[in-house]
Chains A and B, each alone.
Chain A
Amino acid sequence: GDSVTQMEGPVTLSEEAFLTINCTYTATGYPSLFWYVQYPGEGLQLLLKATKADDKGSNKGFEATYRKETTSFHLEKGSVQVSDSAVYFCALSLGGYKYIFGTGTRLKVLA
């Protein structure tokens, strides 16, 4: 069946370190791919998205590239800040109302 797999957390980094959070997916069709972020006490916010192969989504210094050949959508940021500490969710949509989310990866950034 369709699924999203994210790396287990927590991921702990020092400020200004490079971030990668891995995400791979299994889907029968051609999904759109998303990264959402959840700050403490809040709901999920869309961080970035890509709708077709080789598209790169970017926002607030975060980037992810839709890799069809490896069925991946890894999240990267060149220099993290303490304010980036949150839980990050990878998700896919196959159209209609079907959305599948990963389990989330908690990021802690230390000053």
Chain B
Amino acid sequence: ETGVTQTPRHLVMGMTNKKSLKCEQHLGHNAMYWYKQSAKKPLELMFVYSLEERVENNSVPSRFSPECPNSSHLFLHLHTLQPEDSALYLCASSQEGSGTQYFGPGTRLLVL
């Protein structure tokens, strides 16, 4: 595998479920990101990890919980989501200082 991979690609969950999104980067980068992409809105940066430490959290509700066990893996744990959380969740990675982010294909999430 090369680049940035995300699983699952599609997820349907009820508001009381708990699920996790997984991201893996094979580029040797030291920073990873979670973004939310909703229709007709700019990409929203949710979380940033650098060298496995969280460096940014943009006022994201606590029902979203990130985890970065090592520099290659990033998770987004989901619980008691709302229908308005339905969106495409994108993972990205970069090498600090390079300025260029590389994105995964995203997880399309539908909350019923």
Contacts and interface: CB of A to CB of B under 8 A. Distances in A.
Contacts, number: 49
A89 to B, nearest CB: 7
By secondary structure, the A interface counts as strand
Interface residues of A, number: 23
Question: Interface size for chain B: under 10, 10 to 19, 20 to 34, or 35 or more residues?
Answer: 20 to 34
Given A89-B43, A97-B48, A32 B99 contact: yes
Interface stretch (B13-21, B63-71, B73-81, B101-109): B101-109
A89 B106 CA distance: 16
Nearest to A49: B100
Given A97-B31, A97-B50, A99-B101, A42 B40 contact: no
Interface of A: 4, 32, 34, 36, 41-46, 49, 51, 89, 93, 95-97, 99-104
Interface of B: 4, 6, 31, 33, 40-43, 45, 48, 50, 55-56, 90, 92, 96-97, 99-106
